[in-house]
Structure 1
Amino acid sequence: MSGRIDFALNHMTAPRLESRALVDLAARLGCIGVELRNDLADKRLTERAFFDGEQPGAVGAYARSKGIRLLGLSEVYGFNRWSEEMRGKVRLLIDQAKESGAESISLIPSNDGADMLDDRRLGELRHALQEILPMLDEADIVALVEPLGFRTSSLRRKGEAVEAIEAVGGRHRYKLVHDTFHHFLAEEDAFFPEYTGIVHISGVVDPAVSAGEMQDGHRILITQEDRLGNVAQISALHAGGYKGAYSYEPFASSVHAAPDIEGELRASMKLVEAGIAAAGS
């Protein structure tokens, strides 16, 4: 594998930036796209509204004018706890994706630690996917399902997501998010590159935290001390035929407050590409 890969930026990388500024940053770094999020205010990372209060179409047009793809909009959280309220949330995000020209929406499973039998848990997952599928067909858009590797997650492993997608006949509309952090936490060996729509990358370096203790706040940019095996995961996905974007998604406050996020991202990208090149040599 050559060292050159297609990077992207999830808005979680620099939540203090407005959407247009994130697009500009991505363009300067040579990224292929960005992912915008509707939960930054909920996480108290900004006071700005989704799309910074602009019309989604205006932001999408600006990204395209800079040669940046709007890879996706995040997120509908807890989509597998289906209700009419959840239907409305999915519909709203689909409408915003269509208006902005975004290529996908993200569906995030509940991470509430609820204890339920697998039959019920997976049945609820299939039911939600079945309900959402005609909405995706009507809008001609893809939904990205992101298993969360936390032990409290209602969907930890990609294998279960793939089985549910196949069960509802949804392979043409559903893709997976392969998140290197969550893949590590889930201790899942399978990669499913043919189902993967995007890859989220971040690193963890703190030697004092065990895998079971890792949380989003530990996620920084990928460095030489990375414990998650990002280079190995990227190499495995590429070897399996995945050709999509690798989108930075660090949650750590230290990254969000970095005085030179552009420089730090550039250094991390070079390190990843060098690692990939070395792994393929």
Structure 2
Amino acid sequence: MLSLAFALNHMTAPQLSLADFFRLAASLHAPRVEIRNDISGNAILDGTSANEVKRLASENDVSIISINALQQFNHWSATRAAEAETLAAYCSGSGSKALVLVADNSGQAFDSATRIANATEALQGLVPILRKFGIIGLVECLGFESCSLRSKKEAVAAIDRANGRDVLRLTHDTFHHHLAGEPDLFPELTGLVHISGVDDPAIAVGDMRDSHRVLVGPKDRLDNVGQIAALRAGGYAGPLSFEPFAEELRHLADPAGAVRQSMTFITESLKARAA
């Protein structure tokens, strides 16, 4: 029996309130959720307290695996440090296990040594904060050419230079991994996998954006199934968190049915691959 630890990022159904989102996850028997700090009119931006989030999670029997995210983590400053402290405290108070750390995507071009140095400086600042609040930092490289940290190999170098393996892991995003074209996977250092597909046959890889990201299905161009299989073969057994961004998903009549269909596709495809 193939057992997959499916999870839901709130971006899967951002039109739902936090309580309804938690109920959706519970109904899908995927009781692992990621909440966000960038959904207007919803928690966290609407001022919902960490205690209230923790209460809602407990009431619906779901666990919060991460808060998504500290943006531009690799441009460290006093402002970024204060933001990290606030988010880490919210993580701790809400019962979240981790904080996603997203690299800057503003188009600044640096050489590899500078990218690693910038990420190292930031992680050296983040490590004591993460230790203080007892949470994990999930470093996420973005595959866009405009991103200041595209390579997980460089992220791992920064993690090691910051002596942070006790509190730092990688986020493997199947969309960004495909865009970056990086062969390295690092399953032993992966703490979270984000899954989404791109179906549009006309869009060039270099032109793929978040707006093209849908639920994973038979038309997927990103080889989600292959990526998941390779990560699992390397020892990864953690959450596979749905994180699609396409506008059409906000208007689904039956979001539970759509997610369930994607779960079935992934599970059956992995079974067939292993047969």
The TM tier, using the shorter chain, reads: over 0.9
Q: Is 2:113 the counterpart of 1:114?
A: no
**8 Å CA contact retained: 2:98, 2:136:** yes
**8 Å CA contact retained: 2:18, 2:42:** no
**8 Å CA contact retained: 2:100, 2:139:** yes
Amino acid at match of 2:121: H
The one of 159, 171, 181 aligned to 2:175: 181
1:76-106 deviation per Cα after TM superposition (whole angstroms, max 9, x unaligned) = 1101111111011101100100110100011
Give the alignment of 1:77-88 within 5 angstroms: 77-88=71-82
The aligned length equals 275
Partners of 2:166 and 2:42 in 1: CA distance: 34
Partners of 1:21 and 1:51 in 2: CA distance: 17
1:13 is matched with: 12
**8 Å CA contact retained: 2:159, 2:165:** yes
How far apart are 1:280 and its partner, in Å? 1.0
Amino acid at match of 1:20: A
Q: Secondary structure at the match of 2:33?
A: strand
2:196 is matched with: 202
Identity of aligned residues (%): 41
Q: Is 2:209 the counterpart of 1:215?
A: yes
Give the alignment of 1:65-84 within 5 angstroms: 65-84=59-78
Structure 1 unmatched ranges of 5 or more: 42-46
2:219 is matched with: 225
How far apart are 1:40 and its partner, in Å? 1.5
Q: Secondary structure at the match of 2:82?
A: helix
Q: Is 2:127 the counterpart of 1:128?
A: no
The one of 228, 244, 269 aligned to 1:250: 244
1:124-147 deviation per Cα after TM superposition (whole angstroms, max 9, x unaligned) = 110000011111111121110001
Partners of 2:42 and 2:138 in 1: CA distance: 25
Partners of 2:237 and 2:116 in 1: CA distance: 29
The one of 89, 94, 103 aligned to 1:100: 94
1:33 is matched with: 32
Aligned-residue CA RMSD in angstroms? 1.2
Partners of 2:45 and 2:204 in 1: CA distance: 37
Partners of 2:42 and 2:259 in 1: CA distance: 24
Partners of 1:120 and 1:190 in 2: CA distance: 20
Partners of 1:139 and 1:104 in 2: CA distance: 10
In structure 2, the CA distance between the partners of 1:164 and 1:262, relative to structure 1 (3 Å rule), is: same
Amino acid at match of 1:135: I
Give the alignment of 1:152-171 within 5 angstroms: 152-171=146-165
1:3 is matched with: 2
Partners of 1:40 and 1:54 in 2: CA distance: 12
Partners of 1:5 and 1:264 in 2: CA distance: 17
**8 Å CA contact retained: 2:18, 2:43:** no
**8 Å CA contact retained: 2:38, 2:45:** no
Partners of 2:115 and 2:32 in 1: CA distance: 34
1:24-66 deviation per Cα after TM superposition (whole angstroms, max 9, x unaligned) = 000000103100000112xxxxx33517533212222321333
Structure 2 unmatched ranges of 5 or more: none
Partners of 1:51 and 1:85 in 2: CA distance: 18
Amino acid at match of 2:131: D
**8 Å CA contact retained: 1:51, 1:59:** no
Q: TM-score, normalization: structure 1?
A: 0.95
1:44 is matched with: none
Q: Secondary structure at the match of 2:8?
A: strand
In structure 2, the CA distance between the partners of 1:39 and 1:93, relative to structure 1 (3 Å rule), is: same
Amino acid at match of 1:19: L
Partners of 1:52 and 1:8 in 2: CA distance: 23
How far apart are 1:248 and its partner, in Å? 0.2
Q: Secondary structure at the match of 1:80?
A: coil
2:229 is matched with: 235
Q: Secondary structure at the match of 1:50?
A: coil
